[in-house]
Every structure is written in structure tokens, then in C-alpha cells.
Amino acid sequence: MPTEALFWHRLQFAFTITFHYLFPVLTMGLALFIVILKAVALRTKDTRWDDAARFWIRIFGINFAVGVVTGIPMEFQFGTNWARLSRFAGPVIGQTLALEGLFAFFLESSFLALLVWGERRMSRLAHFGCSLALFVGSWLSAYFIVCTNAFLQHPVGWAMGPGEALRLVDPAAFLLNPWAVLQFLHNQAASVATASFVVAAVGAWYLLRREHEEVARRFTGLAVVLGLVSSLAIAFPTGDQQAKAVAKHQPAALAAMEGRFESGPQAGITLIGQPNVAERRLDNPITVPGMLSFLAFGTFHSDVAGLGAFPEEDWPDNIELLYYSFHVMAGLGTLMIALMGLATLALFARRLFRTRWLLWALALAFPFPYIAVTAGWMTAELGRQPWVVYGLMRTADGSSHLVHGGTALFTLLGFMGIDFVVGLAFLWLVGREVAAGPGPPAHGTHAREAARG
Amino acid sequence: MADLWYAIVAGMLTVFVLLDGYDFGAGILHRWVARTEPERRRVLDAIGPFWDGNEVWLLAAGGALFLAFPRVLAAGLSGFYFAIFLVIWCLIGRGLAIEFRSHVADPLWRSFWDTVLVATSLLLALFFGVAIANVVRGVPLSADGWFSLVLFTDFSARPPVGILDWYTVLVGVFAVAALMVHGGTFLAMRTDGDLRDRARWIARWKLVALTIAWPFVTWATAAVRPEFFAAFGSRPLAGVFVALAAAGVALGYFGLWKGRDGVAFAGSTGFIAGLLGATAACAWPALLHGVPHEAASLTTANAAVPDATLRGALAWYVPGLLLAIGYVVLLARLHRGRVRGGDYGGHA
């Protein structure tokens, strides 16, 4: 098939999933926040916690709706753009996608409307139950998707045939793929961090403006603590373990992430530098000696393979992007720990809510986790190249061979147009909610509508 | 085992059409039956808590198809490439219309999304009818199990076929009418006053149109694919489903004219379930019928994953399905009765 078509198929999937994931990455973490806020409200009977929960449920509702509509194309695209992959790996990954629909989507969709609009119709405990159902549903959904991705990264539990297709021989091994467990924990920690940064940013904004201070202090304090815990968990143990798994199972990906062309012991970790693929070296590097050996294999002397150890046809096909994605993720992750660490110190010293420069930093830092998460997924997906199922099927063999490049480009442009409009509408709606703030304790929004005229 | 999964996939698609069908129907009728803002809110309140869950049946049915018949999913979705993306874009627009509309109290904002809801609901009903008709008519499968369809050729329904031809468009229009009846009986059941009267009135004359069109569509199917009904006599299930559809029509007349809204809704449900069931029973064992090369058809015999996988999956699929049905029942119980407005979609 012409490579041009392959490029558009890849770009369309990359674009639609990247845009889609901006929404669930927040809602999964936010679901945890809402459960906590409602639990505290139930225990303390302090209505300001209820106000905080109600405010975040409204933001959650808008995010969730956009997550649902941008997520619809994902399942379809396995068939439309990756038909040969679906035929080849479908007997295995069809399981997790079916599981997601049955156990996660039904749960989420049934309780979403009740959570967002139903507070007046039910008891406080029942409404808390709805938030718990959304939390469980969205995290289950994440596990099934991560498990699907983990099979593509590190196939387990399969055998060949009949026909030119895989078959599932060990469902337990497939569902408990160690890669899936690690990636899930890493991913969920990042989701909680994203929600923490967003909640903290809105809270810091209110505190800077001296609006809604009583409610804002409550959710900002919670966000800062959860933000530090989750940012630390992203790096250690989950990120660290994930890197070790990459070193073991995808050595070429690790070499490309680090821009390492030569093999050898005492491998240093690159803090900064530019991969020069044509000359096969890293230009202007600043490295910490022995650190990569230690992080990947546990001793400073361990051998770490460079790209030179692998045939060129098995190299990831975009080494530069992979290298920079990885370093952007790791760099921002470090910054996130530092910022939330400072904010937590200030919180426990009872100075956070008065320290304006720190509030400014929190208010402006919310894009960091979004960028880091996107870069992280790019690292995972580019690192897997040139395989769509690692070691079993090349990406070039997985696309829909009967769909022309121009057709894929046309639908990609369609998605870009739609997502642009969706993004604008989303920002506007969320902006209105933030501007309106954690409303008066009056139940529901009729009062707010009347107040706004 | 593959035949059982054929039944599961067909059953889930039917449930999808029955459930999402009523909110598609309500969406098509939205601007027509609901003239004032309070009335429009009530229409949205009637479908608000349900539509998302109803749509999940499509994704879940797709999941079941992927699980059991990945070759069919791969060939079908890539073969109908353009049509699939039209469906996806309409689903996106429709979801946004329902979710975004109620967040802003501005009349122009609401009017805009109301129209988006009507247009996307109408187009989706049409596309789903066209999709079923394509499966019945057949697609140009090659020997290795792939095909690629253009949007239309000469509209003759003879090879080389396109997605749109006189037959598939006819079935699409029939589907729109059927879902209008279904949405009308649903709204009649869930609302009162003028809104209910208008919904009943539309459902009535659409039901009359449907009764007249049904034999004609059946004749068209026989003309496009003569052997489709050949096995009819030997498949008692097909007969049962046709009887169900006929009973549904009768119930529909009784309910709509006697003012028994629940009975009318049961009637439109029976009609759609019967027609889809009969179609699935006649199409079996083919999931994608090959035309002109019948031998290339993807069937339960050549497109399913190994029996062991299917048997293993059943162990978790059945409990999951029961759970999903439980949610449907729970939601329906929570929201039984006629909506008075201001509960769901009506929020600012």
C-alpha cells in the first residue's frame, strides 16, 4: 500500500485520540475528587463541601459529555482505518473492547445524568453512590483500554491461527498483563495529578480574586495534597517500573527515548541534548553518568543497548519526536513534583492562601499535566513503532489497505474542523461555569438561572 | 457457538434500535411536536436521562461483533468507510446538541441546538435504515473477505452497487417513518397536554403510512434479493418475528386510537423488534452477504473466532448483559410516569 495513506491513517488516529484523551484524563481524576468531596460532606454535614462537589460536578458533566462524543470515533476507527489490525488481533483485543462497553460504558452512562442533574431527586447517600458509580465506571473503562494497549505493546496470552489471525489462549494472562497493570497505575496517577492541577488552578484563581474563598480553600487544600501524592506516584514507583519494563521488553524504544546509538555499560541518562539521527549521535548532551544503567537494570554497570544493536528496520520511525516527547514528559513531571511540593509545604505552614506568587504559579500551571500526559502517550506509542502489535505485526501491515490516503485525509480534516468547534464551545461553557463559581447553596440551577436573569 | 453469538449481536443491535430509536424518533419530532420552550424542555427531560445509555447499546453491540466476528467488523467498517464517518459525525453533533443545549438560557443558542438535534436524528435514522438495507442487499466482497463501497453508483441496486441506491434509500425512509412512530408513542407515553396530543397525532398517521409501505418494502426486498425469503418456510423463528411485527402494528392502532399510550409504545416496540428479528433470521448464517460472489460471504462459519474463545467469553458476557439490563430497568423505574418539566434537560 502507498506509504502516504499509512501516514494519514496514523495521523488521524493520533489526532482523534489525543484530542479525545484531554477530557477523560480530567474526568477520571475529577471523579475521585468528587467522591472525596461528597464523602467529606456526608461526614461533616458542612454544606460548603456540598457546594464544592456541586461545582465540580458541573465541570465534570461538561467534560464527560465532550469525552463521550469525542470517544465515539475511537472504537469505530479500529475497523475503519485499522481493518487489517482488527482482523489480525481482533480475536484477542475484541475481548477488552467488549468488556469495556459492557461493564464500564453502561455503568457510566446510567449514572451520569443522575449525578449531574439528579441531586434533588434522591437522598444524599444515593447521590454519593452515583459519584462512586461514575468513579468505578471511568476507572474500569481506563483499565480495559490500557489493557488493550498493553497487548499491542507487550503481547501475552496469544497463539497463532486459525487463518492469518491471533487467538486468545490465556485470558487471565491477557487481562492481567503486567504491562497493563503498570501502565494503568502510571496513567491513573497522571489522571489524578491532572485533576489536582485543574482543581488547584481554579481554587488559586478564586483566592487571588478573593471570590468564593470559603469553598475555594477547601478544594484547593485537597488538590495540593493529592497533587503532590499523585505527582510523586507518577515518577515512583509507577514511572520507574514502566521504564524498567520498556528496558526489558522494548530495548530499541528505550535507546531511542534516550537518543542512545552506541551500546555499552555505565550508560548515562540524558538530561538535555539533540538526537542527530543522520550522524547517529547525540549532539551537545548533558548526561548523568551511569544513571540510565541504574534506572533500567538496577546497577551502574549494566549494559544498555544502543540503537546500533538493532537492525535499522526495527528502529522507531520517528526518533526525534520520541526523544523529545519523553524528555518533555519527564521534565514536566519533575516540575510538577516541585510545584506541588512547595504548595504542600506552604499549606501545612498555613501560608499557601496568602502567598500570592505561589497562587499565581498554581493558577497558571494547569496545562503542565495535559502536556506531560500527551507527551507520555506519544512516548509509548512512538516507542512501539515500527510495530502495531509489538514483534507480531508492523504498523504498515495493520491499516485498511482499501481506504485511500486522500479519503483518510478528508475525514481527518473533518475531525479537525469538528474538534475545533467542539473545543471552542467547551472552553466557553467551562469558562462560564468558572466565572459563575460554586453557586449559592440553593439546590439546582433554576435559582442560578433566575439570578442571572 | 458462533450461531449463539450471532444471536447475541443481532439481539443487542435490536435493543439498540428499540432504545435509541425512541430518542432518535423524539429527536426527529422535537421541533414539530414541541412548540414552546417549556414543551421543548419536557421533550428533552423525557429522553435526557436515557439517551446516552441507549447509545451505549450500539457501542456494546460493536464490541460484541469485534469479540466474536472481528473479520466482519474489519471488512464492514473499512468497506463502508465514508458512511461510517457520516454516522460518527452525526452522533457527535447529536450528543453535543442534547448536552450543550441546556447549559445556556439564550433562545438562539437553544434554537440552534434544537435544529441540530432534529437534523442529526433524522439523518441517523436514515443511515441506519440504509445500513440494514446494504446488509440485506449484499456488498461486493472479494475472495479474501474485503470490500470497498462508493457512496452511490447508478442507484439500480444491481452490481456494481453503491451504499445508496433506490432500495437502500427506500428502507432508510421506511426506518425514519418507523422511528417517528416509535418516538411519537414514546413521547405520548411520557408527556401530557398538547404535547401528547401532537405526538399521538403524528404517530397515528405515520403508522398508517407505515402499514401501507410495509408490503411494498417487502416486495422490494424480494425484488433486490429473491432468495432472501427462500428459507423463510424452514425457519420458524422468522415466522414468529413477522407475527410479532404484525401484532405490534395491531397494538399500535389500538393504543393510539384508544388513548392507551403504553400499549401503543409496546406496539411500536413489537413492530421494530419483529422486523429486525425476522431480518436477522432470514440473513443467517451470513453477517455480510457477498454480491455478486455469494461464496465470499462472511458467515458464522467462516468469520467467527475459535469456539473456545467464544465459550470463554460467554462466562462474563452473560452476567455483564444482565447487569446492563438491570441499569435499563433501574433507570426506567426511577423515571416512570409523565415528565412535568425542569428535571433534566431543562436546566440552565
Q: Quick: pLDDT tens for A284-317.
A: 888 888 888 988 888 888 889 999 999 999 999 9
Q: Assess contact for A253 and A243: CB atoms under 8 A.
A: no
Q: Assess contact for B187 and B43: CB atoms under 8 A.
A: yes
A21-60 residues touching B, CB cutoff 8 A: none
Q: Assess contact for B268 and B252: CB atoms under 8 A.
A: yes
State the residue for C-alpha cell 446488509.
Answer: B135
C-alpha torsion angle, residues A306, A309, A313, A315 (rounded to 10)? -20
- B317 in contact with A at a CB cutoff of 8 Å? yes
Q: Assess contact for A174 and A168: CB atoms under 8 A.
A: yes
> What 8-state DSSP symbol labels residue A119?
G
With a cut of 60, say whether residue A446 has pLDDT above it.
no
Please give the pLDDT value at position A440. 59
Which residues of chain B fall below pLDDT 50? 344-348
Nearest chain B alpha carbon to A450? B348
Q: Assess contact for B186 and B172: CB atoms under 8 A.
A: no
Contact list in B for residue A121 (CB cut-off 8 A) is: 334, 343
Residues 6+ apart with CB under 8 A from A160: A166, A167
Please give the pLDDT value at position A453. 30
Please give the pLDDT value at position A229. 97
Band of residue A278 on the pLDDT scale cut at 50, 70, 90: confident
Q: Which whole-number Å values give the CA distances from A99 to A13, A143, B313, in the listed order? A: 22, 10, 9
Residues 6+ apart with CB under 8 A from A390: A152, A153, A154, A155, A249, A250, A384
Chain A nearest CA to B269, separation (Å) = 21
* pTM of the predicted protein model: 0.92
Q: How much is the average pLDDT of A207-220?
A: 93
Please give the pLDDT value at position A144. 96
Contact list in B for residue A171 (CB cut-off 8 A) is: 312
pLDDT-above-90 percentage for chain A: 78
State the residue for C-alpha cell 453477517.
Answer: B287
Give me chain A's average pLDDT, please.
91
* Domain residue ranges of chain B, discontinuous segments joined by +: 2-334
- A83 in contact with B at a CB cutoff of 8 Å? yes
With a cut of 60, say whether residue A2 has pLDDT above it.
no
Helices (H), chain B: 2-33, 37-47, 51-68, 70-79, 81-101, 107-137, 166-190, 193-224, 236-258, 261-283, 307-334
Neighbours of A56 (CB within 10 A): 24
B5-64 residues touching A, CB cutoff 8 A: 48-50, 52-53, 55-56, 59-60, 62-64
Contact list in A for residue B332 (CB cut-off 8 A) is: none
Please give the pLDDT value at position A164. 87
Contact list in B for residue A95 (CB cut-off 8 A) is: 67, 309, 313
Q: How much is the average pLDDT of A160-187?
A: 92
Please give the pLDDT value at position B346. 36
A154-213 residues touching B, CB cutoff 8 A: 162, 165, 167-168, 171
B345 vs B342: CA distance, rounded Å = 7
Pairing type for strands B298-299 and B286-288 reads antiparallel
With a cut of 90, say whether residue A349 has pLDDT above it.
yes
Please give the pLDDT value at position B347. 39
Residues 6+ apart with CB under 8 A from A409: A8
B33 vs B28: CA distance, rounded Å = 10
Please give the pLDDT value at position B124. 96
Please give the pLDDT value at position A443. 41
Please give the pLDDT value at position B341. 59
Q: Assess contact for B57 and B15: CB atoms under 8 A.
A: yes
Band of residue A3 on the pLDDT scale cut at 50, 70, 90: low
Q: At what angle do helices B2-33 and B307-334 cross, to 10 degrees?
A: 30
Q: Which whole-number Å values give the CA distances from A400 to A356, B77, B146, B327, in the listed order? A: 54, 10, 10, 36
B118-177 residues touching A, CB cutoff 8 A: 145-148
